[in-house]
Structure 1
Amino acid sequence: MSNNAHEIYSQVVCNLSPTERLRLATLILNELVEQNLSLIDQSDTWTDQDQLDLASFSLEYAASIFSESEETV
């Protein structure tokens, strides 16, 4: 059997029923969780402050657009 994930998928996984595919996906994901792999690069995550800054900027931008437009009823 090949070690290439695409070939394994084509030769084995495609032949499984949807239920068995879901069971296989669950097994794979559970194993990754148990290994406690850090797959997320923390430098790419948003801090609480980043999210507050974005929300603040968005609200300021929306206020500037609507203050320049016609009065809304």
Structure 2
Amino acid sequence: MSTNVQEVYDRIVCNLSPTERLQLATLILNDLVQKNLSIVDRSDTWTEQDKIDVTTFSLQYAATLFPESEEI
């Protein structure tokens, strides 16, 4: 975090009430959404293939825990 951001937080934001802080956060987030900034790092989000892989693994693992011959 830059020194300027920390200074603004320390001098201004800390002195706001919880309601005012939430209003400020809402304004900031809405502004970012409207500008459609791509500052979010999505490199760690799950792809469709990731979801398929984990589902397949989970089902295979469940099949080993609960073979068809046993009653559930």
> Normalising by the residue count of structure 2, what TM-score does the alignment of the two structures yield?
0.73
Letter in 2 for 1:18: P
- The alignment partner of 2:53 has SS state of helix
Ranges in structure 2 where 5+ consecutive residues have no aligned partner: none
**Within 1, Cα distance between the matches of 2:44 and 2:21?**
31
Aligned with 2:43: secondary structure? helix
Once the two structures are superposed, residues 15-71 of structure 1 have per-residue CA deviations (whole angstroms, 9 ceiling, x without a partner) of 11111111110111011111111123343322212101111102212322445xxx6
Residue in 2 aligned with 1:34? 34
CA RMSD across the alignment:
2.0
Q: Structure 1 runs of 4+ off > 6 angstroms? A: none
Aligned residues, how many? 68
Q: For the residues of structure 2 that align with 1:14 and 1:5, how far apart are their CA atoms?
A: 12
Residue 63 of structure 1 pairs with residue 59 of structure 2: no
| Mapping for residues 13-24 of structure 1, pairs under 5 Å | 13-24=13-24
Query: What one-letter code is carried by the residue in structure 1 that aligns with 2:6?
Result: H
